[in-house]
Amino acid sequence: MSECASKGCGCTTEPIIQPTAPAPLATGSAQAVYRIENMDCPTEEALIRSKLAGLAGVAGLEFNLMQRTLAVRHELPSLSPVEQALKAIGMQAVRMDQASAEQTTKLSIAKMDCPTEETLIRNKLGTVAGVADLDFNLMQRTLSVRHANQVLPDVLVALQALGFEAQVVDTAEVASPSAAPGTTPTNWWPLGISLVTASAAEAVYWLHNGNHWSVVVLALVAVFTGGLSTYKKGWIALKNRNLNMNALMSIAVTGAMLIGHWPEAAMVMV
């Protein structure tokens, strides 16, 4: 039971009047049924009613608080406005009458290998209408998405906006226990060059007892050979208002270079 039910939060203790038989659908209208797990008292019903009643195309709302369901009679070509309105007020709505129309697609994402990237993807796909559930496997770099039909292109576009190239894993490949998604081999040369030049920048700095043009050059080589991917990921995170580790490292390195701490900037990026 939700916090509203356990603590009250304005819910009355009066008996809940269940809706009678649903009114017949008007010509040209349709009905969608949602289960809303955190809807269980008249306070939440009033909140939802006030939010959805003003939507153009919504003809009627029928609540069943005992079963936590909401039937929406509408004349809309798409239910995205309804689902976005429910999400905007924190309601976890799951479409019930089209459960059979949902499908699960497994995606292989080569650049997804840490919880920071999982959080970024989860926050992005959480805003895509029609996405019901996400299941991450960071070891295999795969993501299983449970979604409504015709939503997969929107999912792929959202992932591409984050800089992730996703490939649909074939169903037969998923079923085969011997099948494993390919991993991109690590290119160690840029990291090695970055480590050597960062160490050289530190050594030259101490040799000259301060900054020297060679220190600046070595530090820039270290940052750009080993840190371009970090800068790219950091910029994407900042655009999506997510201060993850890549964003914080990018800010720290940029700040160190601006105040003239070149060896420190190189070492942080390495």
Look at the domain 3-99 and name its fold: Alpha-Beta Plaits (3.30.70)
Bridge partners, residue 69, by sequence: 35, 64
Distance CA 238, CA 83 (A): 27
Characterize 89-123 residue by residue with b for buried, 16 or more Cβ atoms within 10 angstroms of its Cβ, and e for exposed: eebebebeeeeeebeebbbbbeebeeebbbebbee
Average pLDDT across the chain, whole number = 79
Query: pLDDT (tens digit, 9 = 90+) per residue, 40-80?
Result: 888 889 999 998 988 888 999 999 988 888 999 988 888 88
- All CATH 3.30.70.100 domain ranges of the chain, comma separated, are 3-99, 104-175
Q: Which has the higher per-residue pLDDT, 74 or 5? A: 74
Identify which has the larger pLDDT, 187 or 84: 84
The yes/no answer on whether domain 104-175 falls in CATH 3.30.70.100 is yes
What confidence tens digit (pLDDT) does each residue in 194-250 have? 888 888 888 988 988 888 888 889 889 988 888 888 888 888 878 777 777 888 888
Provide the pLDDT for residue 9.
52
The whole-number average pLDDT for the span 109-122 is 87
Task: Work out the pLDDT band at 193, boundaries 50, 70, 90.
Answer: confident
The pLDDT > 90 percentage for the chain reads: 11
